[in-house]
Amino acid sequence: MDSQPLLSRLNTKQREAVVSEHKRLLVLAGAGSGKTRTLIQKALYLISERNIDPSNILAITFTRNAANEMIDRLILASDKDGEYKKILENKGVARKVKEYGRRDYIKKYPWLSNITVKTFHALCHHVMRNYGAKEFDNKFKMLREPSYDDYYGRGAKETPEQIIHKLILNKCEDPEYLMSLKRYILDFYVDEFRVKMHKLGHADYKNPYTTLKGDHVKSKSERDIADWLYRHRIEYFYEPETALVSFECRPDFYINEADLYLELVSSRSYPLSDKEKEMKQAGKNYIKIYEQETHNSSDFNKIMDEVIVSHLDRDFRKVSPLNVLEEFKGYDKHLRQFILDIIRVIDKIKVENKNFNEIYLKALDDPHRRVRDFYEFFKLLFEDYNCYCVNCSYLDFNDLLIKTITLFKNHEEVRKIFRDKFKYILVDEFQDVNTLQVILLNQLLKEDNQLFCVGDDWQSIYGFRGSELDYIVNFETYFENPGIIKLDINYRSSDTIVDASNEVISRNKHRIDKEVRSFSKTGKKIYLYCAEKEEKDGVEMVVENIKKLLKNGYSRDDILILTRTTKSDAYPVYERKLGTLGIKVTTIHKAKGLEAKIVFIIGLTQGYGGFPNVRDADRIFQMIKKSNFELLMEEERRVFYVALTRAKEELFLISEVGNESEFIKEIPGEFLDRNNFLILALKSTQKICKHCGEEIEEVFNYCPYCGKYISESLADLNCEETPNPEIIEPDIHSVENIVKELCLINPNKITSIEDITKKAGEMMIDKGKIDKILDELKDGGVLFEPRKGYWKLVK
């Protein structure tokens, strides 16, 4: 293995980072600046030039895929015959086969077996498995999570969600707990939406409140009465049709067992005198309860006892057993959302390294019952959850870090093993670290150890997962006397894309200044198409252009379709229509680290399902960490920056007329092409020239038959348009443009270059100019090829 060939291919800044002896170094690597190459070369340099024992090097990544990619690049540096490269590039080789091949090559080169390349969690897994018996059961099992790949089959057989659900079922054996939890879920997971729809005037939600029984009633007071009856297992009917002598009416409640009618009286009630009189004449038991009497729970319970007890022949206080599955029937998704919120709070408390008792006391002082009650439920479940996991020897991903940190703090002899072993710690994607990970790094470091971090604050987009931007922006606060080197050349994207993305991100206040420039000087603008309705003409425009790209030789791997969210109306249409072409739509967060020659960013609209997609955290979660709208907006802008910088050659933005994302407005007009997106389509809308009556293509700037300019002759079959005053008409004397447009004319009119010459002459184009351009075209080997009924210029 020789690092010199690779070192010689690094630029000045990359080489400076690799050979740096700084004990704490942050390499700010902009998008496409070769950060992974720099990190890999640092490891190779330490081993081959500095003669550092590979076992003294720890390289940390965030995902298993990233760790495997790092290992692959290290293997490639030693694989002189290129056989391993062939395995990696062979798309027909299954992932498992590549895994086995990777292991074989690691064994082939001993130094690769000694260097440690792991994710944060894999490192902690190793520590706890081999040294953690002092703090926890070292035969622990990992809790299954959506992102957990149980490669070794050592995971728990249940998920956090399943455990919480099991604990809730156990607690619901207490009828009071069951009814309280059901009431909470009905109030804040079911009725919240119903009340909102009611206030908006939707007829389907005229009775917005849901009772424990499942009825929908008009007011909270009616709901309280219904719930009291249900809790005491007293059968009732809500608003039954009742025939009286002179009319029919609907009393609020009828209790069949007591033959009793119950009416709630409020300031909104209709006059009841006639109803009372008729009820009395009919000999019916009719009782009124006033709304204000329901506001105080103790008074309300006392009144209900007095009203009901005298009309029943049994002791209604003896409540029959309740069935939890029956009680939550029809509310499964709402109960599941409650459980997911419980899990999210557990995760946030752990990631932020917060003391739960402090959060709990803070929540109890909150003025809102929804928040206070949530944390009352949460406290009991959290305690039971922790006991359950300890009893079963379960750890989740956050627990791995917490237990490892605790092990290091409580057992210096264990920490010393790893501090002495890992003298050089290399961290990839440092912008994504969270509080626990930074604490762990500091536990591993001692004064003489080297910390080499690469990352880009402009690409920090996982705040919702707990990553903290401040650790990279204010690196010197957390690591003493650091060095900072900026990799400022983007080798991936064109200069237009780089300059445009720089302009966008410059609006963020919380960032490190960098002057990123492009290695490529193509000057090609970013295409912007504003649809009338994205799910209609926006989708069609993208589909047609992708068809053309595929026909022109681009592969599906060359094309990347990015969206901020899957919640827009257009997303399922894109997914369905692009799916027929074998093209997937990917969220920007999932696409981080990817790149493609052609990138389409869809859904660049305002509002729900648009971009930016800023949602302030629920107050329940803000008990743990306050959110800041400005910082949320800056993260959305970083997400947009990541999307822009995935493109290598061409970038297409899709929005809607009058509904453009504000991020589009942050791109200076000089970088955008708003006029030519349509030209990329295979077939566009038809127009009729009002002077000669010929059909013409939308792409033409003039009528190719009579020579009249479009602005003078436009007669659209579909609609009448007012020309956009911001659009600058192209130079009508540009002969090259005229000839290229004439090449698209219907083949029954133009069948050869001679016909173009004739038609250009009829349009009074200077013969010298037309002859010159035609000679250039002939010398270039111009051919005419029929496609979809039109002629296309092919060089």
pLDDT, average across residues 23-45: 93
**For residue range 256-292, what is the model confidence (pLDDT) as tens digits?**
887 888 888 876 666 677 777 777 777 778 888 888 7
Q: Which of helix, strand or coil describes residue 288?
A: strand
Say if 536 falls within a structural domain: yes
pLDDT, average across residues 599-609: 91
Report whether 550 contacts 581 (CB < 8 A).
yes
pLDDT, average across residues 490-508: 93
- Which of these ranges, 61-70, 181-190, 454-463, 699-708, has the smallest mean pLDDT? 699-708
Cα separation of 26 and 436, whole Å? 19
pLDDT, average across residues 707-725: 41
pLDDT, average across residues 593-598: 91
Q: What is the pLDDT of residue 674?
A: 80
Q: What is the pLDDT of residue 97?
A: 81
73 vs 403, residue with greater confidence: 403
DSSP result, 600-647: EE---BSSTTSSS---PPPHHHHTTS---HHHHHHHHHHHHHHHHTTE
For residue 497, pLDDT beyond 70: yes
Task: Clarify whether residues 425 and 513 are in a common domain.
Answer: no
Question: Last residue of a domain, which of 456, 487, 518?
Answer: 487
For residue 393, pLDDT beyond 50: yes
Q: What is the pLDDT of residue 255?
A: 86
Encoded amino acid at 442, one letter: N
Say if 361 falls within a structural domain: no
Task: Clarify whether residues 605 and 672 are in a common domain.
Answer: yes
Name the pLDDT band for 319 (thresholds 50, 70, 90): low
Q: What is the pLDDT of residue 292?
A: 78
Task: Clarify whether residues 459 and 415 are in a common domain.
Answer: yes
Q: What is the pLDDT of residue 215?
A: 83
pLDDT, average across residues 113-127: 94
Q: What is the pLDDT of residue 682?
A: 37
Task: Clarify whether residues 453 and 522 are in a common domain.
Answer: no
Give Cβ neighbours of residue 250 (< 8 Å, ≥ 6 apart): 239, 240, 241, 242
For residue 711, pLDDT beyond 70: no
Q: What is the pLDDT of residue 568?
A: 87
Q: What is the pLDDT of residue 726?
A: 32
Within 10 angstroms of residue 186's Cβ, the number of other Cβ atoms is 21
Say if 637 falls within a structural domain: yes
Q: What is the pLDDT of residue 276?
A: 73
For residue 127, pLDDT beyond 90: yes
User: Which domain CATH number covers 653?
Assistant: 3.40.50.300
- Could you tell me the CA-to-CA distances from 783 to 321, 636, 757, 795 in Å, in that order? 85, 47, 15, 7
Tokens (6 digits) for 619:
């107050």
Task: Clarify whether residues 462 and 510 are in a common domain.
Answer: no
Name the pLDDT band for 740 (thresholds 50, 70, 90): very low
Q: What is the pLDDT of residue 317?
A: 58
Q: What is the pLDDT of residue 335?
A: 93
Cα separation of 621 and 650, whole Å? 40
Task: Clarify whether residues 545 and 661 are in a common domain.
Answer: yes
For residue 369, pLDDT beyond 50: yes
Name the pLDDT band for 762 (thresholds 50, 70, 90): low
Within 10 angstroms of residue 330's Cβ, the number of other Cβ atoms is 11
Q: Which residue matches tokens 């010197």?
A: 476
731 vs 778, residue with greater confidence: 778
Report whether 599 contacts 658 (CB < 8 A).
no
Q: What is the pLDDT of residue 733?
A: 37
Say if 465 falls within a structural domain: yes
Across 318-411, the runs of DSSP E, i.e. the strands, are 394-395
645 vs 332, residue with greater confidence: 645
Q: What is the pLDDT of residue 296?
A: 72
Q: What is the pLDDT of residue 310?
A: 73
Q: What is the pLDDT of residue 561?
A: 96
For residue 735, pLDDT beyond 50: no
Encoded amino acid at 523, one letter: G
Q: Which range scores top for mean pLDDT: 215-224, 226-235, 261-270, 336-345?
A: 336-345
Q: Which residue matches tokens 């399943």?
A: 162
Say if 737 falls within a structural domain: yes
Question: Last residue of a domain, which of 683, 701, 723?
Answer: 683
Report whether 456 contacts 30 (CB < 8 A).
yes
Task: Clarify whether residues 409 and 524 are in a common domain.
Answer: no
Task: Clarify whether residues 522 and 589 are in a common domain.
Answer: yes
Task: Clarify whether residues 503 and 454 are in a common domain.
Answer: no
Q: What is the pLDDT of residue 258?
A: 79
pLDDT, average across residues 304-311: 78
For residue 747, pLDDT beyond 60: no
Say if 610 falls within a structural domain: yes
Q: Which range scores top for mean pLDDT: 67-71, 308-312, 739-743?
A: 67-71
Say if 133 falls within a structural domain: yes
Task: Clarify whether residues 457 and 507 are in a common domain.
Answer: no
- Please, what is the average pLDDT of the chain? 82
- Which of these ranges, 35-49, 619-633, 777-791, has the smallest mean pLDDT? 777-791
765 vs 240, residue with greater confidence: 240
Question: Last residue of a domain, which of 487, 518, 546?
Answer: 487
Give Cβ neighbours of residue 398 (< 8 Å, ≥ 6 apart): 347, 350, 351, 436
- Which of these ranges, 131-145, 303-317, 430-444, has the smallest mean pLDDT? 303-317
For residue 717, pLDDT beyond 60: no
Cα separation of 215 and 565, whole Å? 35
Question: What is the pTM (predicted TM-score) of this model?
Answer: 0.74
Report whether 492 contacts 560 (CB < 8 A).
no
Q: What is the pLDDT of residue 778?
A: 52
For residue 789, pLDDT beyond 90: no
For residue 737, pLDDT beyond 60: no
Residue numbers of the domain that contains 782:
732-794
Task: Clarify whether residues 612 and 589 are in a common domain.
Answer: yes
Q: Which residue matches tokens 């470091």?
A: 445
- Which of these ranges, 152-166, 190-204, 471-485, 608-622, has the smallest mean pLDDT? 190-204
Q: What is the pLDDT of residue 718?
A: 35
Task: Clarify whether residues 679 and 562 are in a common domain.
Answer: yes
Name the pLDDT band for 250 (thresholds 50, 70, 90): confident
4 vs 613, residue with greater confidence: 613
Number of domains in the chain: 3
Say if 771 falls within a structural domain: yes
Q: What is the pLDDT of residue 8?
A: 76
pLDDT, average across residues 64-72: 88
